[in-house]
Structure 1
Amino acid sequence: MSKEVAVSQKLQTNSKRKMAIAKRLIYLNMSVYLLMSIGELIVGHFSHAMVLVADGKNNVTGVMSSILLLVGLHFSSLPRDTMHQEGHWQYETIAVFLTGIIMDLVGLNCLWSAGRSIAAIIIGRASQIRIIAAYAAAISGTLMLVISHINHLIGVRAHDSSLIASARDSLSDALTSYGTMLAILLAYWLRINWFDGLSTFILGLYIIINGNQILSTSAEKLSNGFNPKLQSQIWHFIDQFDDVIHTDYVNGRFTGDNIIIEAEIMVDNRLTTADSYRLCKAIEGEIQTHLPVLYCCIQVRPNALESKK
């Protein structure tokens, strides 16, 4: 078994191990999000707090995204077949993309609710917010902080970027809930009914912005986009080898969170086939040491072709 294949298999094994850990945490996250969203939606309607209802809808997106990620992780862990030689890693990215779409739709719904709330105030049909809504938002924020801390600790230990990103999302949701609590308290203490609608509108915009960021990142991966900074980093790894005269091109793309690289290098035409092969393997090993590369395809071009032009 060659070193390149062993490294690739190690990467796939590590990816599947991370998926197993992620699945367990997703079940935990989904349970907490479900309880919080139900509680906030019920209390929000009962206490006439539209911003709490909007926060509950935001947590509903957490439930939906958890379900989508579970489905995506299930298909991503399937072994390679004749139709998917590189594996099924893209299913996870598709699940994230769909999550972004759901967040945008929920954000638009919050904007619509905010507009209706402000319209009700204008025509004199507004209801006074009840203080219980602030307690519900505070409990939601505290639970989200706990979830964020758990995801971050396990994500760092497992070196799983998706769990670390999930921890940041949970922290963002916690801050959103605390912001909701402050908005409710201000509207309650100062008797400013329109502040509830304004806070709902701001929260809707916040959900849409986050959804668009998720859409942009996942769409970039699905459309074979590749970060130029990451491309330059790979270029640097290749150019540091003395036998490489020139790097003609470096192309990269993602399959899930794993990277596939294609490159062409110019070498001395006196280099034997065996030496060229060892050089390619050394380059592959160097890149795979620093990045989650599934495999590299490096083409060798002798510099003698240049002199014939």
Structure 2
Amino acid sequence: MSKEVVAISQKLQTTSKRRMAMAKRLIYMNMGVYLLMSIGELLIGQFGHATVLIADGKNNLTGVLSSVLLLVGLHFSVIPRDDVHQEGHWQYETIAVFLAGIIMDLVGLNCLWSAGQSIIVIMNGQTASIRIITGYAAAISGTLMLVVSQINQLIGKRTNDSALIASARDSLSDAFTSYGTMIAIFLAYWFHIGWFDSLATLLLGVYIIINGNQIVSASAEKLSNGFNPSLQTQIRHYISQTPNVHHVDYVNGRYTGDNIIIETEIQIDNSLTTTASYQLCKRIEAGVQKQFPVLYCCIQIRPSTLDSDELK
């Protein structure tokens, strides 16, 4: 099959590749910060007998794994389209985000397991005093994660990149969990409440699972050809406003990565020639690709069923 069969928006392809390059640079930064913080928290957590800090370190370790997955996904997503993949390889980015969410869920379950083990140890009377340094480590981690989240959110919104937006959400949740970890450690240290550390670990595990499920749900919706009804309505309205379009029978949309593929059927003026009908379709396609992040627009036409009185 010829590569020209599918009329892909070249402008959107170029924009998407630039967006991917920007995302890669930020994800490398994320990976470095997460790696340093996770190693630091795991070591200090062991030294300071803070189960919740160890759980937070495991949570930040998922940031490293997620970053690796996103980098792999971004690498494959910019591969030029071929005879087999006429629409390109943009779905790799969504697959990477989906897998990153799965990893978050698994780490959340691990935190629940660790909390359960810690509670059993406390019930057996085998406890060790938390050291205050673990609280300071959690505070530093939370501040760094908050900065990383804001950077990712800013660039992700500007470029409409789901990988960066997911990374920003992940980093923000990590910042909150680190601050929550800090509070739990200080309370356990000041008031000598040994079980509070385990309770905080349990709550942290639940929070990680909730955030992981949100990421999995959003990416699974794209992978299963789900589409935003509000955006579908906007595109339908835009097409219906085009001169010589009498009615829009349907608009179906799906995602390939962060880009959109549209299939629509329209009723047009019966008097239009084949050439005029073709030019109308190209005008609609160009307009839709200009107004929305549409990679490809497939337009089917048929003669209008409305009579002349209804058109007046």
TM-score by length of 1: 0.92
**Residue equivalent to 2:228:** 227
The answer on whether the counterparts of 2:152 and 2:165 sit within 8 Å (CA) in structure 1 is yes
* Aligned residue identity for 1:63: V
Quote the Cα distance in structure 2 between the aligned partners of 1:293 and 1:84: 17
Shift of 1:48: 1.2
Quote the Cα distance in structure 2 between the aligned partners of 1:131 and 1:272: 80
- Is 1:102 the counterpart of 2:118? The answer is no
* Per-residue CA distance 1:139-173 (angstroms, 9 max, x = gap): 11111122223334444555545434433432221
The answer on whether the counterparts of 2:157 and 2:165 sit within 8 Å (CA) in structure 1 is yes
3-state SS, counterpart of residue 129 of structure 2:
coil
Tell me whether 32-41 or 157-166 shows the greater mean CA deviation: 157-166
**Residue equivalent to 1:263:** 264
- Is 1:247 the counterpart of 2:248? The answer is yes
**Residue equivalent to 1:61:** 62
**Residue equivalent to 1:301:** 302
- Is 1:136 the counterpart of 2:146? The answer is no
Shift of 1:229: 1.6
* Per-residue CA distance 1:259-297 (angstroms, 9 max, x = gap): 000000111211222222222222222222222110100
Tell me whether 265-274 or 205-214 shows the greater mean CA deviation: 265-274
- Is 1:280 the counterpart of 2:248? The answer is no
- Structure 1 98/160 Cα, relative in aligned 2: closer, same or farther at 3 Å? closer
* Per-residue CA distance 1:214-258 (angstroms, 9 max, x = gap): 111111111111122221121111112242221111111111111
* Per-residue CA distance 1:117-153 (angstroms, 9 max, x = gap): 1111112112221111101101111111222233344
- Is 1:212 the counterpart of 2:213? The answer is yes
* Aligned residue identity for 2:143: T
**Residue equivalent to 1:32:** 33
The answer on whether the counterparts of 1:114 and 1:198 sit within 8 Å (CA) in structure 2 is yes
Shift of 1:52: 0.6
* Per-residue CA distance 1:14-33 (angstroms, 9 max, x = gap): 11111111111111110110
Q: Let me know the Cα RMSD of the aligned residues.
A: 2.1
Runs ≥4 in structure 1, deviation > 6 angstroms? none
Quote the Cα distance in structure 2 between the aligned partners of 1:265 and 1:32: 51
Shift of 1:301: 0.6
* Aligned residue identity for 1:59: N
**Residue equivalent to 1:236:** 237
* Aligned residue identity for 1:285: A
Quote the Cα distance in structure 2 between the aligned partners of 1:127 and 1:178: 22
3-state SS, counterpart of residue 88 of structure 1:
coil
The answer on whether the counterparts of 2:288 and 2:294 sit within 8 Å (CA) in structure 1 is yes
The answer on whether the counterparts of 2:267 and 2:305 sit within 8 Å (CA) in structure 1 is no
How many residues are aligned here?
304
Quote the Cα distance in structure 1 between the aligned partners of 2:212 and 2:150: 22
The answer on whether the counterparts of 1:238 and 1:283 sit within 8 Å (CA) in structure 2 is yes
* Per-residue CA distance 1:46-97 (angstroms, 9 max, x = gap): 1111111111111011000000011111111111111111111111111111
Shift of 1:303: 2.1
Correspondence list, 1:98-177, <5 A: 98-155=99-156, 158=159, 160=161, 162-177=163-178
Tell me whether 191-200 or 138-147 shows the greater mean CA deviation: 138-147
The answer on whether the counterparts of 1:69 and 1:96 sit within 8 Å (CA) in structure 2 is yes
**Residue equivalent to 1:77:** 78
**Residue equivalent to 1:90:** 91
3-state SS, counterpart of residue 27 of structure 1:
helix
* Aligned residue identity for 1:211: G
TM-score by length of 2: 0.92
- Structure 1 155/211 Cα, relative in aligned 2: closer, same or farther at 3 Å? closer
3-state SS, counterpart of residue 9 of structure 2:
helix
Quote the Cα distance in structure 1 between the aligned partners of 2:241 and 2:129: 68
* Aligned residue identity for 1:201: L
